[in-house]
A and B are shown apart, each in its own frame.
Chain A
Amino acid sequence: MRRDLIFTLAAMAALLAAGLYGYFGDEPFYLTLAAKAAIFGLAGAGLNIALGYGGLVSLGHAAFFGIGGYAAGILASHARNYEPLMTWPVELAGTTSAPVIWIVAMLAAGLFSLPMGLLSLRTGGVYFIMITLAFAQMLYYFAVSWPAYGGEDGLSFYVRNELGGLQTMNPWIWFLVCYAILAVVLVLIAILTRSRFGLALTMARENPLRLANLGIGPKRVLLTAFVISAILTGLAGALYADLNRFVSPAMLSWHMSGEIMVFVILGGVGRLGGPVAGACVFILLEQVLGGFTEYWQFLLGLALIIIVLMGSGGLAGLFDRSGAKKGAAHG
């Protein structure tokens, strides 16, 4: 537990350092990258609840990421064009208020995850992977073929959404907003995993039969975890759309699902700060390898294969072992 906390604080400190470097070095590009890392970290933290704590290998989290993104994009574009979102049965206007958008994004992702989770949890194991992937893909094709919000071309909105009186277009402010949200969510996840529910979730992963014998239905626990996980990833999607001021079906594509999973794996599955560390490393790799070749994903793929085959448990695993060695030397 303590190592987990230290690791999380280290990852968050590193991310903050990157932001500070961007701010004081007057490098808005680094600030945008740091904000992107915070958002990806948040998306990964969401997936980690299902994947790490609940053992649910979901290859469909791009669905929630994209739903969050589209919630932001659709609400903002309606507000800016002064078109009501719907006129029947009640007239609903769009909005550019970020908190409202975040809540709508989380609600929408949560609502979609409920039937998706219910259906996917009817089976388990490898079926679960394929079914979550398929549902996300369904949404992807829907977004591509539905012309109202840009279809394949996506949807642009030119100004970031409003949050109080903050200058959200300022990269430093926007980084701080994303960072703060990430920090709050990590605290909430820490509380959640230590709660009664968190313990039940761990047992639902490790020994569902035993949990059932204690009078708690494992399916319900897992479904709850899946929905919470979707809600957080949806929030990350809304932030990501605002970061780019653009949403497109690419946010729903299964490459996105794979990438969110990569953040978790690189950082450490089931570790609080894992996804944050993983997202930072991913973006670092993207920048460094991308400097060598435009085919940097080729090298990323090779690196991933080696990392997973070595079975290191991600950065968090490396951190633990280096700590264990030091501990042995001191002891």
Chain B
Amino acid sequence: MSVALFFEQLLNGLQFGVMLFLMAAGLTLVFGVMGLINLAHGSLYMIGAFACASVVAATGSFTLGLVASFVAAAFAGVIIEALVLRRLYRRDHLDQVIVTFALILVFTEGTRWLFGSYPLYLDIPTPLQGTVHLPGGIDYPLFRLMIILVGLLVAVLLFLAVNRTRLGVRIRAGEADREMIAALGVDISKLYMIVFALGAALAGFAGALVGSVQSVQVGMGEPVLILGFVVIVIGGIGSIGGALIAAILVGITDTMGRVFLPMAFAAFTDPASANATGSALASMLIYILMALVLVFRPSGLFGEKA
């Protein structure tokens, strides 16, 4: 195992983690402020990716594609919030789960209807192709590096928005006491819509970025959604900072596990079974991490005591 490989995988893990954060941030905000568990968050991620792919195909501009992913996901978010989810805030979790599960069916099959089942591939814009030389002799794809930087930038902006702006004050107040801020004259339904649109836009943006590294396809949001849940459980619901740290932890654990566990097993068994055992164990690693966190801190690393 070379040092270069280690750092390369560390960067891959960081990139994955940062994307997970963009998903988890929306989930945790929406749950924290509205008390809504939204399974359809993964669909917003998918919508962002498809919007980006369509706009890039039509205009050839990747920047416009990214803007479209942001706007389309936010728009879809506002629509489902106004038409469906708004009626669920006062319902129990079961109703929320089943309705948002139904929304996934609608979005997944609807997208399949429109775009077909075949994955679309996005071309990374030419200036961002190629690799950069990092200290230590690592050649790392420029685009992935950019994703890490953009993701971290968004994280910082989100952190500032929640902690330093008037909107952020309202969001945090909404998490603390919904009735009170309504009584203080804040238009609560407008606040909910803004929070939901913000979360949706972040998910859509993440979908477009990940879609351009991997592929854009129907159902792409669901694995990420579940990882988003794992991140929230580890980080603690409602905590943006917790979500960031947990997302990076999950991203790095998962990426490193997939690469290095089969290698570790190869040291003392034959290659074929080492690969099987290693990759099977690696696929379970983050859930084991989650279980460990639950044993020691049931409400997450940064969650308030339930």
Mark A residues whose CB is within 8 Å of B: 51, 57, 59, 119, 122-127, 129-131, 133-135, 137-138, 141-142, 144-148, 254, 258, 261-262, 265, 269, 295-298, 300-305, 308-309, 311
B95 touches A123 (CB 8 A): no
Q: A122-B294, A147-B276, A301-B106 are in contact. Are A127 and B287 (CB under 8 A)?
A: no
B84 touches A305 (CB 8 A): yes
B291 touches A119 (CB 8 A): yes
A261 touches B283 (CB 8 A): no
8 Å CB interface, B70-104 against A: 84, 87-88, 91, 93-95, 97-99, 101-104
Q: CB-CB < 8 A to A59: which residues of B?
A: 97
B106 touches A145 (CB 8 A): no
CA distance A177 to B258 in the complex (A): 44
**Majority secondary structure, A binding face:** helix
Q: CB-CB < 8 A to B25: which residues of A?
A: none
A-B contact pairs, 23 of them (CB 8 A): A57-B93, A59-B97, A122-B295, A123-B294, A124-B306, A125-B93, A126-B93, A126-B237, A130-B230, A134-B226, A134-B290, A137-B287, A138-B283, A138-B284, A141-B284, A145-B279, A147-B276, A265-B98, A301-B105, A304-B101, A304-B102, A308-B98, A311-B95
- Give the residue of B37, B230, B283, B299 whose beta carbon is less than 8 angstroms from that of A134: B230
- Give the residue of B102, B108, B306 whose beta carbon is less than 8 angstroms from that of A308: B102
Q: A254-B222, A265-B98, A295-B109 are in contact. Are A146 and B280 (CB under 8 A)?
A: yes
- Annotate B103-119 by CB proximity to A: 1 below 8 A, 0 otherwise: 11110111011000000
Q: CB-CB < 8 A to A311: which residues of B?
A: 91, 95
Q: CB-CB < 8 A to B31: which residues of A?
A: 126
- Give the residue of A51, A123, A261, A302 whose beta carbon is less than 8 angstroms from that of B101: A261
CA distance A130 to B108 in the complex (A): 21
Q: A126-B37, A295-B109 are in contact. Are A133 and B226 (CB under 8 A)?
A: yes
With contacts A144-B283, A295-B113 known, what are 18 further pairs, Cβ within 8 A? A123-B298, A124-B306, A126-B237, A127-B298, A127-B299, A134-B226, A134-B233, A134-B290, A137-B287, A138-B284, A142-B283, A145-B280, A269-B94, A295-B110, A297-B105, A301-B103, A302-B102, A311-B95
Q: In this assembly, does B66 line the interface, its C-beta being within 8 Å of a C-beta of chain A?
A: no
B99 touches A305 (CB 8 A): yes
Mark B residues whose CB is within 8 Å of A: 31, 37, 84, 87-88, 91, 93-95, 97-99, 101-106, 108-110, 112-113, 222, 226, 229-230, 232-233, 237, 276, 279-280, 282-284, 287-288, 290-291, 294-295, 298-299, 306
Q: A131-B290, A265-B94 are in contact. Are A297 and B109 (CB under 8 A)?
A: yes
- Give the residue of B103, B233, B282, B287 whose beta carbon is less than 8 angstroms from that of A305: B103
A261 touches B97 (CB 8 A): yes
- Give the residue of A51, A119, A145, A298 whose beta carbon is less than 8 angstroms from that of B113: A298
**Closest A-chain residue to B283, C-beta based?**
A141
B109 touches A119 (CB 8 A): no
